[in-house]
Amino acid sequence: MMIKGKTWRFGDDVDTDLIIPARYLNTSDPKELATHCMEDAEPEFARKVRPGDIIVAGNNFGCGSSREHAPLAIKAAGVSCVIAVTFARIFYRNAVNIGLPILESEAAAKEIKEGEELEINLEKGRIINVTTGKVYQAAPFPGFMRELISAGGLIPYVRSRLSR
């Protein structure tokens, strides 16, 4: 799958309260959550983000709560992929489980600037910075996770396992 979009930059330790504050967790509707996505970090984000846009961040993206509302809000906001140096572990598995593409690449996460345009080949984990011409290779997913991702997430995977 190919992804194309403009980047939004965030720093290290972007926590789940920044991604979607708990005061909005009295709903689980992804569309409603998306209207508050990244609100306390960048109040204009939800209004200005365009379908296909890409989030680029530092270490430990998504730390804190287990709320799946965080990757759901990002996905429903139209974000096509999150690139970071590292992800917090629950966010990582939530993203894989719900089918939000994420990539770990230290060089890409450090060098790519806000507003640059990227082209990403998800299967290959290849990130092309169209603005600068630089190419990055993200860390590959382990085999089982590739299965999960290609099944479309954990629920389709479980369904196919149960029907076998």
Partner 1 sequence: MTMTEKILAAHAGKQEVKPGELINARVDMVLGNDITAPVAIKEFAKIGVEKVFDPERIALVPDHFTPNKDIKSAEQAKMLREFAKKYGIVYYFEVGRMGIEHCLLPEQGLVGPGELVIGADSHTCTYGALGAFSTGVGSTDMAAGMALGEVWLKVPPSIRFQYYGSLPPWVGGKDLILYTIGQIGVDGALYSAMEFTGEAVTALTMDDRFTMANMAIEAGAKNGIFLVDEKTLAYIEGRFKRSYKKYQSDPEAEYAQEYEFDVSRLEPQVALPHLPENARPVSEVAGIRIDQAVIGSCTNGRIKDLREAAKVLKGQKVHSEVRLIVLPGTQEIYMQALQEGLVEVFVEAGGVVSTPTCGPCLGGHMGILARGEKAVSTTNRNFVGRMGHPESEVYLAGPAVAAASAVKGRITHPGEVLDK
DSSP-derived pairing of the beta strands 102-104 and 81-84: parallel
Please state the closest distance from residue 117 (CB atom) to partner 1, in A. Answer: 29
Q: Kindly identify the residues of this chain, within the stretch 11-40, that bind partner 1 according to CB under 8 A.
A: 13, 15, 17-18, 21-23, 25-28, 40
> Can residue 63 be called a binding residue for partner 1 (CB under 8 A)?
yes
Cβ closer to partner 1: 125 or 153?
Answer: 153
Contact pick of 47, 51, 133, 143 for partner 1 (by CB under 8 A):
143
* 48: three-class secondary structure by DSSP: helix
> Can residue 164 be called a binding residue for partner 1 (CB under 8 A)?
no
Q: Which two tokens stand for residue 129?
A: 């910075």
Virtual torsion, Cα 140, 143, 73, 7, nearest 10 deg: 20
| Whether the Cβ atoms of residue 70 and residue 94 lie closer than 8 Å to each other | yes
Q: Which two tokens stand for residue 137?
A: 């290779």
Q: Kindly identify the residues of this chain, within the stretch 103-142, that bind partner 1 according to CB under 8 A.
A: 142
- Measured CA to CA, the distance from residue 91 to residue 70 in angstroms comes to 8
Q: What distances in angstroms separate CA 132 from CA 91, 112, 113, 115, one per listed residue?
A: 30, 9, 10, 12
Q: Kindly identify the residues of this chain, within the stretch 41-60, that bind partner 1 according to CB under 8 A.
A: 41, 59-60
Q: What distances in angstroms separate CA 124 from CA 6, 40, 63, one per listed residue?
A: 20, 34, 26
Please state the closest distance from residue 21 (CB atom) to partner 1, in A. Answer: 5
Please state the closest distance from residue 29 (CB atom) to partner 1, in A. Answer: 10
Residues that bind partner 1 (CB under 8 A): 13, 15, 17-18, 21-23, 25-28, 40-41, 59-60, 63-69, 72, 86, 88-90, 93-94, 97-98, 142-145, 148, 153-155, 158-159, 161-162
